[in-house]
Structure 1
């Protein structure tokens, strides 16, 4: 039976930056997937600005949350076949079993990044949540006008 590794926050963060001693790597067995589920092996995991502020309100211990892009290595879900890449809010873990439903924090369903031949890592960066946040923040909130910025 295969094991996964995940980061668990075991101590509330003191000060601005978390320390390595605030985390623990926990190993768990991956239970066999059921009909409708698929197993994803993480390729890239995000470290995003929102993580620090959300952490202030959580009780320890908790699994470190975050976005990841990974490859489906086993599937019993026809919508998510083997060798497909997906982006999900599955946290800091090397394997995750999903069924295509929404995650608890963002109500986000796993999706297939459609970015052509661009690097998959962009799916959790400039073409993912951080990039979309920056893009919409600039254009929808700041709404820059010609002449306001000197470059």
Structure 2
């Protein structure tokens, strides 16, 4: 059995996470038992939710255990199997964590799924099953379809528009006939959002120092107001959106990256939730597994047809994962942040 590199959570962050919170180790891969498969990971997904798991504060999921392999989504290839439904060579997606190999009890429902991947026309690259055709894409789908429920012609917005969730959200909203306005950090990201992803407009929040000035930019980009918004960031961005959202507007709240280091993220004018009769709903996509087949069918179709062209930032080698993760939390990535392991 091969030697396996792993990254463990060595300590809990105090304020911002640092590279010292992680530890790289090498271990022996155990022999397989009946019902298990050995997966060689090709890509590791890095996602903002992982920062929340590093804390032991009360949350929607148990915290990442100290001294254990960091949680994370993976795609890869079965190299050995003692389960009848999986064979060497199968491409699979799962939650293998920050390591080169994973031994998976494949009999457990939902822990490992086969995917059809390829790099040719009409195919979906394997890495996209961690982004547009995976959890981030389904997150965008659920927030748009089940919470915002837009009608054709309505204006919808999304923060972190160039990221894995935001890019999928834009394609899904355009497919429903919406006007889509993104909010992203930097001219390059905004140009990509408009020119490559097909958004109607994108606002560079870095050009504005407060919610008031960002609100004016939103007013210019959304002359009919905002009917629905998908929130990944919080803070100044959410304040600005609230000032421009229409009566009975809908907000899908999936991330609050502005507060992931433990700082409070207050709302400046929470009374707008009442006066505008806004529906704001937080959600965790893993609690809605019943929608995944429908969502993934649409998302895979959008990627395969070229209507959704997701961008990726790829770090090389497991040892690069901590710095890539810390950079992602500061917005240094462009699109989906991955680590290539093969």
Answer whether TM exceeds 0.5 for this pair: yes
- Residue 100 of structure 1: aligned partner: 106
Q: Displacement, 1:39?
A: 0.9
Distance 1:38 1:61 in 2: 24
TM-score, with length taken from structure 1: 0.86
Distance 1:61 1:32 in 2: 22
Larger of the two Rg values belongs to structure = 2
Q: Does 1:70 align with 2:76?
A: yes
Distance 1:94 1:47 in 2: 14
Distance 1:94 1:71 in 2: 11
TM-score, with length taken from structure 2: 0.40
Distance 1:76 1:129 in 2: 27
Distance 1:108 1:55 in 2: 24
User: What is the RMSD of the two structures over their aligned residues, measured on CA atoms?
Assistant: 1.8
Distance 1:51 1:37 in 2: 26
Q: Structure 1's 77 and 108: CA in aligned 2 closer, same or farther, altered over 3 A?
A: closer
- Residue 55 of structure 1: aligned partner: 54
| Structure 2 counterpart SS, 1:62 | coil
- Residue 126 of structure 1: aligned partner: 132
Question: For 1:12-39, what per-residue CA distance to the aligned partner results, in whole angstroms no more than 9, with x for missing partners?
Answer: 12324x2211100111111221222211
- Residue 14 of structure 2: aligned partner: 14
Distance 2:110 2:35 in 1: 17
- Residue 2 of structure 1: aligned partner: 2
- Residue 80 of structure 1: aligned partner: 86
- The answer to whether the Cα contact below 8 Å between 1:63 and 1:91 also exists between their aligned partners in 2 is yes
- The answer to whether the Cα contact below 8 Å between 1:43 and 1:70 also exists between their aligned partners in 2 is yes
Q: Displacement, 1:115?
A: 4.9
Q: Runs of 5+ in structure 2 lacking a partner? A: 57-62, 156-178, 180-199, 201-342
- The answer to whether the Cα contact below 8 Å between 2:77 and 2:89 also exists between their aligned partners in 1 is yes
Q: Displacement, 1:74?
A: 1.2
Q: Does 1:29 align with 2:31?
A: no
Distance 1:37 1:66 in 2: 19
Aligned length: 146
Q: Displacement, 1:114?
A: 3.4
Give the stretch that moved more between structures: 138-147 or 24-33.
138-147
- The answer to whether the Cα contact below 8 Å between 1:89 and 1:108 also exists between their aligned partners in 2 is no
Q: Displacement, 1:2?
A: 2.1
- Residue 110 of structure 1: aligned partner: 112
Distance 2:152 2:90 in 1: 43
Q: Structure 1's 101 and 55: CA in aligned 2 closer, same or farther, altered over 3 A?
A: farther
- The answer to whether the Cα contact below 8 Å between 2:36 and 2:105 also exists between their aligned partners in 1 is yes
